[in-house]
Chains A and B, each alone.
Chain A
Amino acid sequence: MAEHATHIEGLAHHFVSMEQQKEAGMIGMWLFLVTEVMFFGGLFLAYTIYRTIYPEGFLYGSHLLNVTLGGTNTVVLIVSSLTMAMGVYYSQKGEPKKVMGFLTLTLILGLVFLVIKYFEYASKIHDKLFPAMGWYNPETTGAHGVPLNLQQPVRVFLWIYFLMTGLHAVHMIVGAGILITLILMTRKGKFTKNYNSPVEISGLYWHFVDIVWIFLFPLLYLTGYHLSVGGH
C-alpha cells in the first residue's frame, strides 16, 4: 500500500486518479449533508406540527428569547462562512499561509458563537426556562408574562428551542474540531494546489451548519419579536 501511495502525493491506493478521489470525496460529503438535512428534518417536522397546534404558545415562547444575542450570532456565523470560503479559495490557489489565517479566523468566529450561546443557555436555565424534569416552573418565576393557558404550549416551544439549537451547537463543536485538524494539517504542509479536497469538503460542512442556523434564527427568535408583553 505504501509504495502505491508514494507515486502521487495524497492519492489513496484504491483510486485510479486524483480526479476520481476528489469526486468521491465531494459526492460523499454532499450525501452526508443530505443525511444531516433528514436528521434536522425530524425536528423541523416537530416544530411545524407543534407550531400549527400551538400558534400563540410559539409567539410567547419566541418572545422569551434574546434577539440581540441571537442576531449577533447570526452575523458572526455569516462572517465565518465568508472566512471559510476565503480559506477554501486560497487552498485552491495553493497559498498555505493565507489558508491558515482564514481557517483560524473561522475557528475564532465559531468559538465566539459558542460562547454567546453558552451565555444564552445560562440565562435561560437561571430563569428556570429549561423545560425538563420540572425545571420550567412559571409559578415560581413570575411566569415571564405568559398567560396561564399558554404555559404548557410555551414549554413545548422551549424544548424545541433547546433541542434544535443544542443539536446545532453540537455540530458547531464538531466543526471547530475539524477546523483545528485542518489548521494543524496545513501547518504541516499537507495541502498543495493539487491536493486540497479536505479543506473544500470541510468547507461544505461548515456552510451547512451555518445554513441550519439561518433557518433556526427567524423560526425561533423572530416569530414573536413584534409582541409587546411582559418579560424582558
Chain B
Amino acid sequence: MASEGIIRSEGRKNYLNAATTVKSWLLTLDHKRIGLLYLFAISFFFALGGIYATLIRLELVTPEGDLLTPEMYNRVFTMHGVTMIFFFLIPSIPAVLGNFCLPLMLGAKDVAFPKLNLMSWYVFMIGGSMMLYTMLSGGIDTGWTFYPPYSSIYSNSQVTIAGVSIFITGFSSILTGLNFMVTIHTMRAPGLTWFRLPLFVWAHYATSLIMVLGTPVIAITVLALAFERTLQIGIFDPKLGGDPVLFQHMFWFYSHPAVYIMILPSMGVISELIATMTRKRIFGYNFVAFSSLAIAVFGFLVWGHHMFTTSQSMYTGMVFSLISYAVAIPSAIKTFNWTATIYKGSVSFDTPMIYALAFLGLFTIGGMTGLFLAALGLDVHLQDTYFVVAHFHYVMVGSAVIGFLGGLHYWWPKITGRMYSEALGRISAIIIFVGFNLTFFPQFVLGQLGMPRRYHAYVPEYQVLHVLSSAGASILAIGFILPVFYLAWSLMYGEKAGANPWMAAGLEWQTPSPPPTENFTYQPVVTHEPYEFEQVPEIKQAREAELLRA
C-alpha cells in the first residue's frame, strides 16, 4: 500500500505540490490555495478572539471585578466581538470552504475573477493588520456595535482606525460575494442547471446576495463615523442637529443580515453533511434551496428588532417583530427537512455527522430563543442581558462555528488528501458540544434573572451560574484545541484519503484528493440531480458486485 501511495503521489501533480515556493503561495490565483490562505488568517483571528473570551470568562469567575479594570474589560469584550465577527465568522465558511469547494462543485477551473479573489485576501489582510495595530495601540472600548455618541465623542480609544479597518475589510467581503455570484451564474459545467446545484451552492448564493447588498451600507456607516470623530461634522450628534439613532438603523441594516452571512453558509454545509452521511437525497430540496433565499431577503427587513428599546416608534417595532417571526419559517423548513432526511437514512456517525447533529440541536435552541427576543414585550425585559448573549452565541458558535468545523472535517480529505483520526475527531466534537452547552446554557438563566451584558462585576447570587459557564468555556477550549493537533498530525501521518472517502455524490469528489491545479483533468458533464447516490461510481460498483454475487 505504501509503495502504491508513493507512486501515485509522485506520478501526479496536485495543487499543493505544483509549486512550493512562498511566492507561489502569496501570488497564487488558484481558488484552492486562496482558500487555504484564508484558513490560516482566520484561524489566527479565531485564536486571538478566543484569548479575549478566556479573559472575559476568567474575570467573571468572581463577582468582584478583580482581574481586569472596568476600562480594560470594556476593551476586552469589544475586541472579542470585533475579532470574532468581522475577522473570523464572516469570512470563515465562505472564504475558506466556499472558495475551495464552489468551483469544484460547479465543475469549473476557478472562480470567475481569480485576481479579484486574491485581491480580496490582501484587502482582508490589510484590514486585519490595521485591527491588530488598533489592538496593540490600546484597542477600542465601544462594544462591537460602535454606538455614537459614545464612539463619536466620549470614547478615548482607537475608534477611527478601527472604523477604517472595518471599512477596508468590508470590501474583501463585498468582492468575495460578487465573485461567488458571478461564478455561480456563469461557470456551471454543462448540464449543471440551477436545480442540480448542491445546496451548499444555493446557500452561498444567498450569502453572497447579503454580502453584496448589505456590506456597502456598513462601509458608508463606519466611514461617516470616522468623519464624525475626526471632523466633528455632527451626523450622529444631537448637539449639532444629528440623530444618533440613525447610526443604529444604518448599523443594523447590515449587521442583522450579517448574522445570516454567518449562518447561511453553515446551513449549506449541514445540507451536504446530512445528505452524504445518511446516503439520502435532501428531503424537499427545492424548499431548502429557496428557504436560503427567503432568509436572505427577510433578513434585510428585520433590523429594527435590535432597537425595540430606542426611540423607534411602537408601531414600527410591531412590524419589525412580525417580520422577525417570519424568519423562523424558512429556518424551520430547513431544520424539519434535515430531520426528515435523516429519518430512515443509512446514517453513519462519522465526525462530520456528529457536528451536523450538534448543529440541529443547538440551532433549534438558538433560533427559538431568537423568537423570545423578537417579542416586543419580552424583549424589554431581556434587552441587553445575558439572555441575548446566550442566544447569539447559540447561533454564532453553536451553529456557525459548528458548521465550519463540520465542513472542515468533511472536506479535509479533499483539501489535504489525508484522513484524520476518526476517534479523536468524534471525541473533540462531543467535547465541543458538551463544553458549549455548559458555557452558554447557564447564560440564558442568568439573563432571565437580570444579569446585564458587558459588566465586569455582578451581585454574588449569580456566581454559581457564572462559574458553570467559565468551567464550560475551559472544556470548550479543549475541544477547539484538539483538532489543531490531530489535523496537523494527519498532514504527515494520516491515511491517504482517495478521491471519495465518504462515498459522496458531489462533483468535488469526482476528482483526485488533493485536486490538480485545474480541478478536473476532463470537462465534467452533469446528467442528474445532486445527492443521487445510486449514480456515485463507487456505490454503483459495490452494488453491481453485490448483484453479481447474488
Contact = CB atoms under 8 A, between A and B. Distances in A.
Per DSSP, chain B at the interface is: helix
B101 to A, nearest CB: 16
B234 A159 contact: yes
Interface stretch (B110-118, B130-138, B469-477): B110-118
Interface in A39-83: 39-43, 45-46, 49-50, 53-54, 57
A24 interface: yes
A125 to B, nearest CB: 13
Contacts of B232: 132-134
Interface string A15-26: 000001001100
Interface string B221-251: 1001001000111110000111100100110
A135 B178 CA distance: 40
Contact of A39 (B181, B182, B217): B217
B181 A152 contact: no
A156 B246 CA distance: 14
Interface residues of A, number: 37
Interface string B211-226: 0111111011100100
Contacts of B196: none
A162 B231 CA distance: 12
Contacts of B182: 24, 27-28, 31
B540 interface: no
Interface string B181-225: 111011100000000000000000000000011111101110010
Interface residues of B, number: 39
A57 B229 CA distance: 24
A34 B209 CA distance: 10
B109 A13 contact: yes
A152 B240 contact: yes
Contact of A49 (B174, B185, B231, B243): B243
A122 interface: no
A224 interface: no
B213 to A, nearest CB: 6
B248 to A, nearest CB: 12
Contact of A27 (B186, B224, B233, B250): B186
Nearest to A166: B227
A203 interface: no
B524 to A, nearest CB: 12
Interface of B: 108-114, 174, 178-179, 181-183, 185-187, 212-217, 219-221, 224, 227, 231-235, 240-243, 246, 249-250
